[in-house]
Amino acid sequence: MAYRAGAVMRDMEFMQFHPTAFYGKENPTLLLTEALRGEGAYLLDDAGERFMIGSHPRAELAPRDVVVRHMKRVFDRDKTDHVWLDARHLKCDFLRERFPTVHNGLKNRGFDLCTQLIPVAPASHYYIGGVLTDTWGRTTIPGLYACGETSSTGIHGANRLASNSLLEGLVFGERTVRELNRYLAVADPAVRKVRLDLSDEPREGNDPAVVQKGRATVGQVMIDLCGMVRNHGDLDKARKTLTALRRSLAAPGLDVAELELFNLLTVAEHMVATAALREESRGVHLRSDFSERDDAHWRCHSLVHRNAITGELVVETSPVEGSSGAKDASAGKGSR
């Protein structure tokens, strides 16, 4: 909505995956907290090997992106889509007491944390990118504020540390309200209105079956082609599929599911465009074709906004505060 109103979005390629969600068809699924590995649970491949040993000095306690990267390596090697969490060597009373939600959640799904291996796979968990704001919640549109997960203050860098989002909500929620009160006291009511591109005219919109199918397509494209580890070929396919989907849809009516599809599609387009732009691996953004971090070219933010005249999506870069920015930011500049 903020993008449609003309706001600038930042770092939209940075989606954090949590390594250990319960593997299954549920969405959302049960999250198996990192504290389990903190207390000594292992990650095993199909052969029962602890694949994180030798992969990182902290083994299962490596940062999220590192664990996810090695899980993906195991998936590709073993032609599978999940690994196993093993807490069988920990005391059952302790597990039940320390992890009641996980223990009961698994029990309801037919698994016993004390005696069985638990199938796990990474799940998208936290969106680092979002609506560009300053530290007072101000977006690039006067009178439009954002805070929490939907915003991009820059505090998470390219790889949020666990628990920082609740802190973010507390800190920036309070600051945004303070700033908003100040703004409302001085702003001219005439300039307070932010325009979205929702038509006042009733529109027919799309058939619910088309909306449902479109939503499934966006989800599948993002899982298959713009997930944990990306590459140019997949991202190009993703871009083409999303473009074709958008072209196939009529302008939305006022149905919630339909508007959600358009919002999801917009965010997916941003993620694909910026993931394709950033030809390096940094934090949670992993590229198999550019597997190293490249400060010389990509120590910068990505920015997305809508061209006010053509309505086209514009992708650019901007320097990271306190650095001279990307040496060659223009190399990554483009209109997509």
Q: Under the criterion CB under 6 A, does residue 31 sit at the interface with ligand FAD?
A: yes
69-108 mask for ligand FAD (x: CB under 6 A)? Answer: ----------------------------------------
Of residues 175 and 237, the one with the C-beta less far from ligand FAD: 175
- The site that binds ligand FAD (CB under 6 A) totals a number of residues, namely 11
Of residues 54 and 173, the one with the C-beta less far from ligand FAD: 173
Work out whether strand 151-152 and strand 130-132 pair parallel, antiparallel, or are unpaired. parallel
Q: Under the criterion CB under 6 A, does residue 126 sit at the interface with ligand FAD?
A: yes
8-state DSSP, 329: G
What residue type is assigned to position 95 of the chain?
Answer: L
User: Do 147 and 172 meet the contact criterion of CB atoms below 8 Å apart?
Assistant: yes
Of 16, 140, 165, 274, which one interacts with ligand FAD (CB under 6 A)? 165
Work out whether strand 300-306 and strand 118-127 pair parallel, antiparallel, or are unpaired. unpaired
Of 105, 157, 169, 334, which one interacts with ligand FAD (CB under 6 A)? 169
Least Å from the CB of residue 173 to ligand FAD = 7
User: Do 32 and 20 meet the contact criterion of CB atoms below 8 Å apart?
Assistant: yes
Least Å from the CB of residue 148 to ligand FAD = 2
Phi, psi dihedral angles at 130 (to 5 degrees) = 170, -160
Q: Under the criterion CB under 6 A, does residue 166 sit at the interface with ligand FAD?
A: yes
User: Do 51 and 77 meet the contact criterion of CB atoms below 8 Å apart?
Assistant: no
Long-range contacts of 185-191 (CB under 8 A, 24+ apart): 187/142, 187/143, 191/142, 191/143
Of residues 166 and 296, the one with the C-beta less far from ligand FAD: 166
Active site residues: 64
Beta bridge partners, 335, equal 314
Measured distance CA(98)–CA(180) in Å, rounded: 41
Q: Under the criterion CB under 6 A, does residue 148 sit at the interface with ligand FAD?
A: yes
Of residues 26 and 236, the one with the C-beta less far from ligand FAD: 26
Binding site for ligand FAD (CB under 6 A): 31, 125-126, 148-150, 163-166, 169
